[in-house]
Structure 1
Amino acid sequence: MQRIEQLRTQFPSMYIDAFVVTEQINILYLTGFQLGAGDGCLLITSKGAYLITDDRYQEALQELQQDAFDTVITRDYYGQLADLCQQHKITVLGFESTLSYNIFSILDELMVCDIVAFDDTVEKQRSIKAPAEINKIRAAAELNSAGFDYLINHVHAGMTERDVANLLDWWLKKQGAARSSFDTIVASGPNAAKPHAMAGSRQLTNGDIVTVDFGYFLDGYTADITRTFGIGKLVPQLEQIYQTVLQASQAVIKHAVAGIDGQILDSYGRNIIKQAGYDDYFNHGMGHGIGMAIHELPASYGPNAQIVVQSNQIITVEPGIYLPHVGGVRIEDDILIYDHSNEVLTNAPTDLIIL
């Protein structure tokens, strides 16, 4: 498989002979096979690869037509890993730094070779999307955008925040979404001043600003979208901050191209919010990478971000203003980065909608 080979080409610069993958999502990315969390590992050597798991997966693996890796069925994952490393005369084994201390202790006791931790090895590879991945995220973004279009045609005063979240969940799953990538945020009225408020029992009332932040998986990849709308007439301040957030979003999207520094990209939007007098009320990063997980590399970019955006990465743009006891506004889009431009994948309307 090309992804395994791409990882293998990094071995010389990492000064390792082999690499073991234990993160569930990274095993899926490299092999196309879904293990449960903690149900095995993937050993990649200079010439081969071994998916080490137990007999619960044996039949499914036999049905998987592939020649990129061999399957090793055992209940002693790490004992078998140590045996394979000895058979292949591995002297230095790389492992993911996210490994639990418990498993590290097991490896430290069993392994004859040196073991060395590495940060984000597979994650960096995952951050650059292949054409097939881009198409899947584009489809997820279109479906999630359609979910918002459905929602605004059915939401009304008197519904609870939880009612709104459940309606969205029902419709998106009916259209083919697998599951949500995080608990959907529906924050109304003063709750909208809390960036990560969960949908609760509060009823939507006239005069409310309502923020809905959600992401659903389609074919293994997720989108991430936020829209804010009003119920009845809003106070002028809420309408003002909506337009400020929208301008900030548009400014970031305008400047998002490959090679731009994350701090600079963030500043295009954050400065608009600052000039409007709300810099103390924007308290999170401007966005993050998405893909097989809701948060991927590039990590959150903001005033202290040490990242450079690269071509074929997909990132969110999500400025916000949150006024305690009043309400808040966030607008979030997913964009595909090109060398000299970008493509907005989430096509739900961003103009202020009043229901």
Structure 2
Amino acid sequence: MRVAMEAAQLDALVLRLPENVLLLSGFWPMIGAAFLVFPLSGESVCIIPDCYRNEALSALRSTEPIFFPYGLTDSPPPNDAVRKIASSLTNASSWRKIGYEADFEAIAPSWNSAESLVPAGATVSLLRSAFSSAEITDVSGLLKKQRRTKTDFEISRLEIASEISAIGLEAFQNAVDVGKTGVELAAEVEHQVMVRGTGYRGAVRVRAYAQVTVGTEETAVAYRPNIISTKRQMQPGEIALLELGLVADGFWADRTRVRIAGKPSEAQRDFFAGVVHAQEAAIAKIRPGVAASEVDQAARSAIRSAGYGSFFPHITGHGLGFGYHESSPILGPQSQDVLEVGMLTSVEPGIYDRSFGGMRIEDDVLVTSTGARVLGPYQKSLV
């Protein structure tokens, strides 16, 4: 990050989105009330509400914490407290160019996903007041570029998230049955992830975001980025499709599986085999230096060969890690991305037909020096 900052002539970054504070400090803030000051040289500082002291001290790496009173009757306005601390930092008066997050239109939810604080006009005013002699500039593009490839530490945390996601896949697999609703299936997945995932390999804060569609009409449009779980009961031979986002201490996994209530038909088996073959063809194509569009083409060609070419309307995959979806790499026909060691991407081909329903298989795949590695591998089966 500091090499990139030096090239951009940045003296410091001041970040408050939890995903970016995590990136450079190891601490995943609760709601976005913490500010990370990351200078080009010298020690970084995280300005944190005192009520989150224990969580911060157990997670911070190479970062000095400074705590301020927050949420109490005698606490000063939070931005006033942060402004006072920031302006008093060593060397802050000599900084001439400071970066912040102005252009993150899609953000990862903080731990308390019911309410998140984000950089906006008040943050800009705070920075201009605290660093009155500095230029305040957007560094969203720089941050997103640096987030594309993951460090060994980050990969180890992403492995944990993917392994926990397999708990959700197992819960879904075991729960699908005639009479079950999408709402019930989604609730069971989220329940098992929180109960069994919390504490898994040291994970402290674990949450699942499960969406389950059931039946022909619902699964036929499950290519949409967001699907709605309903109280429609499954009938014998119907498809259930799980879309699962999961976060473990700020690191994300994204998985999909499908199941049949009862016995699948031969047509369903063929449909499913086409999806699995397409995913395996795409994963086999992944290695450093390969164009992301070629990976997409491998999946698309497999689906065309199976006779379902017109039923695959979305891209093959997207980046992830510090968020549920990240902007790079994109495995799509128009993508200009080239794969690099350390990139993490979903691989999720699907086939959707209004007269038949929809199926998709999704796993998270790491680009390694020798090819591809699926994180948290889990079986692919209809029953």
**1:16 alignment partner AA:** L
Q: List per-residue Cα deviations over 1:305-325 (Å, max 9, x = no partner).
A: 221221122221000111125
2:184: which partner in 1?
163
Q: List per-residue Cα deviations over 1:52-106 (Å, max 9, x = no partner).
A: 3444445765777865335263731346545649843111112223342443355
Q: List per-residue Cα deviations over 1:139-168 (Å, max 9, x = no partner).
A: 332332244334333431011111112222
Change in Cα spacing, 1:150 to 1:185, as seen in structure 2 (3 Å) is closer
Which of 283, 291, 297 is residue 321 of structure 2 equivalent to? 291
Contact kept? 2:216, 2:357, Cα under 8 Å: yes
Q: List per-residue Cα deviations over 1:112-165 (Å, max 9, x = no partner).
A: 221221224334333322333323332332332244334333431011111112
**2:94 alignment partner AA:** K
Change in Cα spacing, 1:271 to 1:168, as seen in structure 2 (3 Å) is same
User: Is 1:9–2:3 an aligned residue pair?
Assistant: yes
Q: Offset of 1:179 from its aligned partner?
A: 3.7
Q: Distance in 2 between matches of 1:240 and 1:339?
A: 34
**2:123 alignment partner AA:** I
Partner SS, residue 256 of structure 2 = strand
1:253: which partner in 2?
283
Deviates more, 1:331-340 or 1:80-89: 80-89
Change in Cα spacing, 1:87 to 1:134, as seen in structure 2 (3 Å) is closer
Contact kept? 1:224, 1:294, Cα under 8 Å: yes
Q: Distance in 2 between matches of 1:310 and 1:175?
A: 34
Q: Distance in 2 between matches of 1:180 and 1:284?
A: 26
Q: Offset of 1:267 from its aligned partner?
A: 0.7
Within a 5 Å distance, the mapping from 1:183-198 to structure 2 comes to 183-195=210-222, 196-198=226-228
Change in Cα spacing, 1:86 to 1:79, as seen in structure 2 (3 Å) is farther
Change in Cα spacing, 1:184 to 1:17, as seen in structure 2 (3 Å) is same
**2:321 alignment partner AA:** G
Q: Distance in 2 between matches of 1:137 and 1:236?
A: 37
2:158: which partner in 1?
137
User: Is 1:339–2:364 an aligned residue pair?
Assistant: no
1:69: which partner in 2?
64
Give the share of equivalent positions with the same residue, in percent.
26
User: Is 1:263–2:293 an aligned residue pair?
Assistant: yes
Q: Offset of 1:332 from its aligned partner?
A: 0.7
Contact kept? 2:25, 2:60, Cα under 8 Å: no
Within a 5 Å distance, the mapping from 1:271-286 to structure 2 comes to 271-286=301-316
Partner SS, residue 11 of structure 1 = helix
1:4: which partner in 2?
none
Q: Distance in 2 between matches of 1:206 and 1:65?
A: 51
TM-score (norm 2): 0.79
Q: Offset of 1:236 from its aligned partner?
A: 4.8
Q: Distance in 1 between matches of 2:268 and 2:60?
A: 56
1:3: which partner in 2?
none
1:30: which partner in 2?
24
Q: Offset of 1:283 from its aligned partner?
A: 2.2
Within a 5 Å distance, the mapping from 1:109-128 to structure 2 comes to 111-128=132-149
User: Where do 5+ consecutive residues of structure 2 fail to align?
Assistant: 69-75, 104-118, 199-204
Contact kept? 1:289, 1:315, Cα under 8 Å: yes
Partner SS, residue 215 of structure 1 = strand
Deviates more, 1:316-325 or 1:134-143: 134-143
Q: How big is the alpha-carbon RMSD for the aligned residues of Structure 1 and Structure 2?
A: 2.9
Q: Distance in 1 between matches of 2:306 and 2:57?
A: 61
Deviates more, 1:156-165 or 1:233-242: 233-242
**1:14 alignment partner AA:** A
Change in Cα spacing, 1:64 to 1:256, as seen in structure 2 (3 Å) is closer
2:246: which partner in 1?
216
Q: Distance in 2 between matches of 1:311 and 1:60?
A: 32
User: Where do 5+ consecutive residues of structure 1 fail to align?
Assistant: 1-6
User: Is 1:315–2:345 an aligned residue pair?
Assistant: yes
Q: Offset of 1:301 from its aligned partner?
A: 2.3
**2:174 alignment partner AA:** N
Partner SS, residue 321 of structure 1 = strand
User: Is 1:152–2:173 an aligned residue pair?
Assistant: yes
2:43: which partner in 1?
48
Q: Offset of 1:266 from its aligned partner?
A: 0.7
2:257: which partner in 1?
227
Change in Cα spacing, 1:218 to 1:332, as seen in structure 2 (3 Å) is same
Contact kept? 1:286, 1:302, Cα under 8 Å: yes
Q: List per-residue Cα deviations over 1:174-228 (Å, max 9, x = no partner).
A: 2124443434334333211122322210111112122112133345433222111
